[in-house]
Amino acid sequence: EAQVTQNPRYLITVTGKKLTVTCSQNMNHEYMSWYRQDPGLGLRQIYYSMNVEVTDKGDVPEGYKVSRKEKRNFPLILESPSPNQTSLYFCASGRGPLTDTQYFGPGTRLTVL
């Protein structure tokens, strides 16, 4: 089954404790991206990757890092989480950017205390 998986689905952590949210896709897609969803703000792109070892900033990259060492994986790293990073995070993949159909993961709800 074609899918994008994220782990964990739910995470409660404390300020400053480094965390990683994993994202994996099994569709051999070159393009992957991370979004955060906040009430009243819709989805905002954090980072995207056009291919292995190629990543770039989206609209709201501050406080986040990503890596793309393998085509299928695109982890999101919060080196020192802060409460304003409490949000719902989605990973997405596609053959290209939004003009190609994007497949979204189920989301990771992160709470930073």
Partner 1 sequence: GNSVTQMEGPVTLSEEAFLTINCTYTATGYPSLFWYVQYPGEGLQLLLKATKADDKGSNKGFEATYRKETTSFHLEKGSVQVSDSAVYFCALSVGSYIPTFGRGTSLIVHP
* 5 in Cβ contact with 24 (< 8 Å): yes
Closest approach, Cβ 40 to partner 1, in A, equals: 6
79 binding partner 1? (CB under 8 A): no
97 binding partner 1? (CB under 8 A): yes
Structure tokens at 78: 């919060």
Over the window 49 to 68, marking each residue x when it contacts partner 1 by CB under 8 A and - when it does not, the resulting string is -x-----x-xx---------
Q: Which residues contact residue 44 at a Cβ distance below 8 angstroms, ignoring those fewer than 6 apart?
A: 35, 36, 37, 38, 58, 59, 60
Among residues 44, 65, 71, 72, the one that binds partner 1 under rule CB under 8 A: 44
Closest approach, Cβ 48 to partner 1, in A, equals: 5
Structure tokens at 2: 């074609």
Among residues 21, 105, 110, 112, the one that binds partner 1 under rule CB under 8 A: 105
- Classify 5 in phi/psi space as left (phi over 0), alpha (psi -120 to 50) or beta: beta
